[in-house]
Chain A
């Protein structure tokens, strides 16, 4: 029931730059709600990667950056590293139906 759409997969060679899109609608991202990103390594719980569209929590490398425009957001990974191979999810808030949180469909990043 995800209302935020992400590409199923993206890939890149070590050192390259990859981007992941997160497309929402006028009741979530387009309504002004911020987008947050999580990284999930295999077999582990999700980890906060970006909050408030573009802010990195302490300890997150500056290779990760986020942006938002209109009804979409993007996560960019520059200088791709082997340890970046993981699933990535965007998250926001939706004002419809009394308000609820929403996650994206998830994107698998593969390092070639």
Chain B
């Protein structure tokens, strides 16, 4: 059974750095094709993909946020950490981590998010 859970501060001040941890179980991030991603959702707004780390340590970032994001993994602890610098009130959102499953579709290996954490609300305010 795959589970993921996000943890981190609920309140950060503008300009501070946010550090979120995703602790998971039921899979290994050293298994080929596996990835863990971060997605956020401002109150009342749409989902926004932020970053993803693959089993081989390859990383992908949202082009619009790339300069502010860093994603890392600790395979031995079953954790993925996301840091976001220079936080602003517009970054107030629920942050989710999710398991990325690989599948072969339409002629290439692709991925989708089949298991999600419950999410953690981060408020940016002074």
Binding site for B on A (CB under 8 A): 1-2, 32-34, 36, 38, 40, 45-48, 51-53, 57, 89, 91, 93, 96-106
Contacts and interface: CB of A to CB of B under 8 A. Distances in A.
B107 A45 contact: no
A46 B49 contact: no
Contact of B103 (A52, A97, A102, A104): A52
Contact of B61 (A36, A51, A100, A106): A100
B63 interface: yes
Interface of B: 37, 39, 46-49, 52, 60-64, 96, 101, 103, 105-108, 110-114, 116-119
Given A98-B60, A101-B111, 6 more contacts: A2-B48, A38-B113, A53-B105, A91-B113, A96-B63, A100-B49
A52 B114 CA distance: 12
A34 B62 contact: no
Given A45-B116, A45-B117, A93-B110, A105 B61 contact: no
